[in-house]
Chains A and B, each alone.
Chain A
Amino acid sequence: MDVKKFIERGFDIVAVEDLDKLQGMRDQIYRKAADLMGGTNQDAEDFMNNFHRQELRGPALNTMRMDLIRYCSEEMDIGQTIFDAFSDQLIGLLGPDVVVQKTTNLVIQQPGDPDQVPTHRDSPLNSPFEIVCWIPLVNIYGTKGMYILDRDKTDVALNMMKSSESGYDKHAKLTETEGHILEMPFGHALFFWPGLVHSVGINVEQETRWALNIRYKNLFAPAGAKGQSEFFKVLQLSPLTKMALEFEKEVYA
């Protein structure tokens, strides 16, 4: 990761060194999804890109997505897999005492689907000390991705939002017109600061987007309104922190 670029813009796109880690993770999600759909003979990429051909919409799509999120969060250790794949970058930004979001989010954005997350920023509801890791499971380009504003443009958008009752619409429009359009093949991760404004438009490409998002934070950094033990679990501790916690445990026991 180019840390200077990350700090200037608030985001950076990084290629994974060990693609097998992400491929294994994608295959496992694909097998579960295919199972939920009653089986398939497609490969993972074909299945995901052409998922809209299954014509699953509305509540049925949401139920399947929630089943997959439960599977990813409870049966797979996705937070650990992504951390292992990008540990140098994450430890470089967060330090060695790391917590990870308990739930892994999965978004399936089919072509033409008008149901999308509105333009927003994650922080201040989330802690500004988090880093968001956005991992596409398919190749991302054009409207199949999302728009993200850098730090300077985020400031402009937030000023617009405050200025009048039409401010929300103006800042959403700015995000679509001025936002960075993601072009990233599978095997890359977008790391972004949660204070950045980002949005998803209608996917007008001919393929479905599948993407995971999960958040990491230093154990002792402020937790934001979502709460430390409500939102995070411990991923790894430094040897010194382990030693100090043993000492503290005796103090309170």
Chain B
Amino acid sequence: MKAFYACLDCAFVKYAPQPLQHLAVANKAAKQGGEVSFYTLEDFETLSYQGAAKHKLAERPAVNGLIFFTLRQFFYGSLHLEFLNSILEQGYEVHFAREDVSIHNKEELDQIFPMIYSSYQLMHRDEPREYWRPVWDSLDDIPDSKDPKVEE
């Protein structure tokens, strides 16, 4: 049975709580014929360069691959294609639970690059920092839906 290291997304915990991310990652591991051996989470300070994941990888964990909660973890700060390449070059598979995407080698990365690139561009172009605010504002009984400073 394959073993995977899970890399959860701390930036997304507000919308997908950690237990839910564990479930999604475990499901993705099962689909790959394996299970999760352990997990890590970035600090907010390391999100833009995936410091915790890189640190773990440097230990050469005895797993078949890494399962990230979402592809977006490679979009924080920039498009981290270099890190994705480097994981594959070290012989690890890369999987994404939220998108149900698997990349086993560099050829598969080349194949899926148009989707990765367009997802990155669309996230930056179409999702402003306050992406969910229109929903909160239309349901204006939610406490943090209005910024008191801009209320008349």
Q: Residues of A at under 8 Å CB distance from B?
A: 99, 102, 219-220, 222-223, 227-230, 232-234, 237, 241, 245, 248-249, 252-253
Contact = CB atoms under 8 A, between A and B. Distances in A.
Given A228-B119, A249-B81, A252-B79, A237 B71 contact: no
Nearest to B116: A229
Nearest to A253: B81
Contact of B114 (A222, A227, A245, A252): A245
Nearest to B80: A252
Contact of B98 (A230, A233, A249, A252): A230
A14 to B, nearest CB: 27
Nearest to B74: A252
A99 B114 CA distance: 10
B113 A233 contact: no
A141 to B, nearest CB: 37
8 A-B pairs closest in CB distance: A252-B81, A228-B119, A229-B119, A229-B99, A252-B79, A222-B126, A234-B114, A230-B99
B122 A234 contact: no
B115 A220 contact: no
A91 B125 CA distance: 24
22 contacts: A99-B118, A102-B100, A219-B114, A219-B118, A222-B125, A222-B126, A228-B115, A228-B119, A228-B122, A229-B71, A230-B98, A233-B115, A234-B115, A245-B114, A249-B81, A249-B113, A249-B117, A252-B78, A252-B80, A252-B81, A252-B82, A252-B117
A228 B98 contact: no
A232 B101 CA distance: 11
Nearest to A224: B126
B82 A220 contact: no
B32 interface: no
A202 to B, nearest CB: 33
Nearest to B118: A219
Max count, chain A CB within 10 A of own CB: residue among B98, B118, B126: B118
A227 B75 CA distance: 14
B40 interface: no
Interface in B75-102: 78-82, 85, 96, 98-101
Contacts of A227: 98-99, 119
Nearest to A223: B122
Nearest to B82: A253
Contact of A220 (B99, B101, B112, B121): B121
Contacts of A99: 115, 118
B49 to A, nearest CB: 14
Contacts of A249: 81, 110, 113, 117
A228 B118 contact: yes
Contacts of B96: 229
Nearest to A124: B134
B71 to A, nearest CB: 5
Nearest to A103: B100
Contacts of A102: 100
B126 A223 contact: yes
A233 B119 CA distance: 11
